Structures are given as structure tokens and as C-alpha cells.
Structure 1
């Protein structure tokens, strides 16, 4: 019941953000401002606190590798299943089917439900997620949409401009070296990072949109079906084949029902593809995750 209560609290914050937008105090365009605060300020601080309170072992690097492999696998499946629709349909699949909103959803969610250990596991998963979706998938998707070759320079530039990814790498190196940041820095990060859960959930409410015509609805159902079927298979393989600890498997299984990455609609817009469908898919995966993640945590213990 405690998990359900926490889930209800997070849903209420999302609803508050949506209500504030509906009554005109904020506009949907303010989503970008809130996202900037979360991604560049509160989330890095929350990560600093989480990594400081949990010992990183080299075994956790396998979580990053697992994330990278399955997310690339999802991109390949989306690309292959949409070959008949042409490069633009394939590009949309690569950019939208296989990514996860770890920083703005999973981390505050698991942080509220489970604690620092789950946050670090999710963060290690996000290292692979960032490489696969913001790196390989971004370059591949834009290349398909514009009919240009994927650029190694674009790949490197994308990662270099990601404060979250840079934070992950820095903290990963510090953790492996058993180095800790000064206590005043941790104290500052604790205060700022405490706001991350509220800002992340509130921001999602501000950005929430459910607008879709019949053609777009069918398109969204096709891509969402690909996403959920692929990650259902990945979850089965995780429990039957991958030799992770049960606690790690529980966290990863919860992640596999997480929403699409918040950056997916932005990448879709940059590629000149259907932003409306991408936004709707993001909203649907968010609503599914609100129910599915706490349910899985309860069932799996």
C-alpha cells in the first residue's frame, strides 16, 4: 500500500502540472524551461547524491551494456518492420520505438519507491540508454530521414552537449576510482536534487497532450505495439538467460515499461517527421508506466 500511496502522489503532481497549464498559468511552451532546469540542474544534483551513497562495482557496467544492446536491438527491429514504408517510416521507428525516459521519470519514481540502490542501477542503465538513443539512434534516425549517412561527428557532438550523459560518465569514473566529492558539494547537491522529483513530474504534466486523428492513431498503435512486444521478449530473456542478481532484474524489468525518452519528440521534429504522433506515443507510454511500474515492483517484490 505504501507503493500505491507514493504512486498516487506522483500522479497527483503530474495532474497538478496539467491543471496549471489548462487554467493558463503556464503554457505548453514552458515545458522546455522546466526540462532545462531538470536536465541541467536538479537531475545532475540528484545523481551526485545517489552515486555518493552507493558503491559502484564493475559488475554494474554489465547493466549499461545490457541496456545498450537491447535498445539498439529495438531500433533494428523498428527499422526492419518498417522497410515497406520507406526511409522516413524507418527513421520514425528508430527515433521513437526504443528509448527510455530514465532521468525525468524512472529515477524520481524509483527514488521515491525503492531508494538509492535502484537509482544507481537505473543510472547505469541510462548510460547505455543515452549512448544508444541519444547517440546511435539519433544519428541513424536523422540519416534515414534526410537520406544522409550517419555522422560520427554528430554522434560525438550529441554526447558532448548532454549534461546528463557527461554527469553519468564523470560520476562513473569517480565511483570506480572510489573517489568522493567534498561534503559541501554533496550538501548543496542534496538540497537542489531534492527538487528533482517534483519538477520532473510537474514538467510531464505541463507537457501532457492527447490529440490524435484516426490515421495518426493507427500509426501510433503500430509503433507502440512494436515497442511493447519487443521489450516483453527482452524481459523474458532477462529473467531466463541473463545472470544478474534478482534485485537488479526487478529494477530493469520496471525500467522496460518506462515511458519513451522526453527527447524523442524533439529528435522527431529535427528530422521533419510527425511530432504529433511522437508526442502522443510519449503520453501513452507515460500513462502506462504510471500504472505498470508500481504494479511490477509490487508483484516482483
Structure 2
């Protein structure tokens, strides 16, 4: 019951954002303001607090590598599939098709179903997921959207200007060397970061358009089909090719059906792409995950 309530809370916050927009208290254009606050302020603070409580285990970095390869492979596949629709379609695919919402969604499920070990496995997956989505995908997607010619220097410059990526990178290094931030810094980060879940879900509701034109539904379905094809291929590779333990395979299979990362819609707004399709896809993947994740955990034991 607790799991259902937590998932329902996320959906309710999205619905609240949508209702506020329909009432005219906020406009769709306010999505950019909220995404800026989330991506540059509350999310980095939430990460600081989360990493301080989480001990990075070097022996489990293979899980992070699996996540990194999975997400980047999804970005490449989407880039290939979308070539016929142009650079901006490719950029949208790179930014939206291949990322996973671990912290807001997966951890509550795994903690209740499988306990602390599952949370560690999912958290190590999230390290690779974040570095690839907020790093490679962010820099690549923004470059494609802007129509820039491929350039290593421009790619690295965009990468280094990603607050989420740089936060993850610094915290990863601090974690590997067992360095903890001072108490006052953590106290400030905890206060600010506590708002991240609400703002991240609320901004999705602000950007959400339930009633889209027919073309937008077709576009969303195309990207979602690519996403779940990548998920299926990753799951098959996980069980057939990757020498992880049974517990790790069970947890990672559940993680693969997690919703899109909330930051994807923020990146979409930053790239000046179709936020309404992105938020629709995010909401759809949340609804799918509510059913699929516990079903997979129960089926796989």
C-alpha cells in the first residue's frame, strides 16, 4: 500500500501542476523557469545530500558501466532511427529516449520489495545513468538541436557547463575518496534539495498537454517505441550476456522499466524542443512503471 501511495503522490503532483496551468495561475511558458530552478539549484542540492548518505563501492562500478552503456546505446539507436526526420528530431530522441528516474521512483519500490542491497544496486546504476544522460546525452542533444557541426571542443564545453553532470562528477570523485562535505553545506543542501521532488514533478504537470494534436501522439509513440525496444534489448543482454548475480539482474530488470528522468523535460526546454511531447512521454512512462515494476519484481522473485 505504501508503494501505491508513493507512486500516486508523484502522479498527483503532476496533476496539480496541470490543474494550476488550466486555472491560469501559471502558463506553459513558466516551465522554463521551473526547469531552471530544478536543474541548476534543487537537483544538485538533492544529489549532494543523497551522495553523502550513499557509500560508493568500487567493486560495484560494473553496474554503473552497464547503465552508462545502456543509456548511450539508447541515445545512439534513437539518433539512427530519427535520421530521416532531421537534426532536431534526433536531438529530441537523444535527450528523451534513454534515461531513467531512479531517485524519485525506483528507490521506494526496491526498498520495500527487496531491501537495502537492492537500493545499493540501483544507486550504482544511477551513477552511470546520470553521467550518460546529463553528460553525453545533454551535450550531444543540445549540439544537434542548435545545428552545430560535431566538435570535440564544443562537446566538452557543453558538458562542462551542465550543472547536473558536474555535480555528479564531483560527488562521484568525493565518494570514491571517502571525502564528506562540511555539515553546514549539507544542511543548506538538505533544505533546498527537499523541494526537488515537488518541483520536478510539478514542472512536468505545467508542461503537460494531455490533448495533443494527432501528429504529436504519433511522434510520442515513435519515441516511446524506440525507448521500450532499447529496454527490451538491454534486458535480454542483461540475462544472456552479462555475468551479474541473480539479485543484480532482478533489480536491474526492474530499473529498466523505470520512468524517464524528470530532467529530460528540462533539457528539452533548454534545447528549445517540444516540451509537451516530452512531458507527455514522461507521464506515460510513470504510469507504465507503476504497473510494470512491481509485476516484474514479483515475477522474477
* Bucket of the pairwise TM-score, normalised by the shorter protein: 0.7 to 0.9
Change (3 A) 1:148 1:233: same
How many angstroms apart in 2 are the aligned matches of 1:95 and 1:266?
Answer: 10
Which residue of structure 1 lines up, in the alignment, with residue 171 of structure 2? 171
Task: Find the counterpart in structure 2 of residue 255 from structure 1.
Answer: 255
User: Are the equivalent residues in 2 in contact too, given 1:82–1:90 (CA < 8 A)?
Assistant: yes
Corresponding residue number in structure 2 for 1:19? 19
Runs of 4+ in 1 over 6 A off after TM superposition: 116-120, 269-273
Note the alpha carbon deviations across 1:11-59, whole angstroms, 9 max, x for none. Answer: 2222222212211222222222222222222222222222222221113
After superposition, what is the alpha-carbon deviation per residue over 1:55-95, rounded to whole angstroms, capped at 9, x for unaligned?
21113322332122112222332344445556665555444
**Alignment-derived partner of residue 108 in structure 1:** 104
Deviation at 1:151, TM superposition (A): 1.6
How far apart are 1:4 and its partner, in Å? 1.1
Q: Which residue of 1 aligns with 2:184?
A: 184
Instruction: State the match for 1:202 in structure 2.
Output: 202
Cα distance in structure 2, aligned partners of 1:284 and 1:222? 13
State the number of aligned residues: 297
- 1:97 maps to what in 2? 97
Partner-residue secondary structure (3-state), 2:239: helix
Bigger mean CA offset, 53-62 vs 75-84:
75-84
Give the 3-state SS of the residue equivalent to 1:259 in structure 2: coil
Contact kept in structure 2, 1:64 and 1:128, CA below 8 Å: yes
Greater displacement, 223-232 / 141-150: 141-150
Matched with 1:154 is: 154
Per-residue Cα deviation, 1:186-237 (whole angstroms, up to 9, x for no partner): 2332333222222222222222222433333333322221210221221232
SS at match of 1:258: coil
Give the Å deviation of 1:238: 2.0
Contact 1:50/1:119 (CA < 8 Å) preserved in 2?
A: no
Superposed counterparts of 1:37-76, under 5 Å: 37-76=37-76
Q: TM-score, normalised by structure 2?
A: 0.80
Q: Which moved more, 1:75-84 or 1:62-71?
A: 75-84
The answer to whether the 8 Å contact 1:3/1:294 transfers is no
Q: Matches of 2:299 and 2:224 in 1, distance apart?
A: 24
TM-score, normalised to structure 1, is 0.80
Deviation at 1:127, TM superposition (A): 4.2
The question of whether the paired residues in 1 share the 8 Å contact of 2:35 and 2:266 is answered with no
The 3 A distance-change label for structure 1 pair 26 and 174 is: same
The match for 1:228 is: 228
State the shift of 1:181 in Å.
Answer: 1.5
Q: C-alpha distance in 1, partners of 2:118/2:198?
A: 18
* Contact 2:78–2:90 under 8 Å retained in 1: yes
Q: Which runs of 5+ in 1 are unaligned?
A: none
The Cα offsets for residues 148-172 of structure 1, whole Å up to 9 and x where unpaired, read as: 5312122212221122211111111
Contact kept? 1:4, 1:294, Cα under 8 Å: no
- Say if 2:204 and 2:279, in contact at 8 Å, map to a contact too: no
Greater Cα shift, 23-32 or 84-93: 84-93
In the alignment, which residue of structure 1 is the partner of 2:7? 7
The 8 Å contact of residues 238 and 249 in structure 1, kept in 2 or not, is answered as yes
* 2:235 pairs with 1:239: no
1:212 aligned partner: 212
**1:109·1:197 contact (CA, 8 Å) conserved in 2?**
no
8 Å contact from structure 2 (residues 131, 168) kept in 1: no
Deviation (angstroms), 1:256: 2.1
Distance 1:149 1:64, change over 3 A: farther
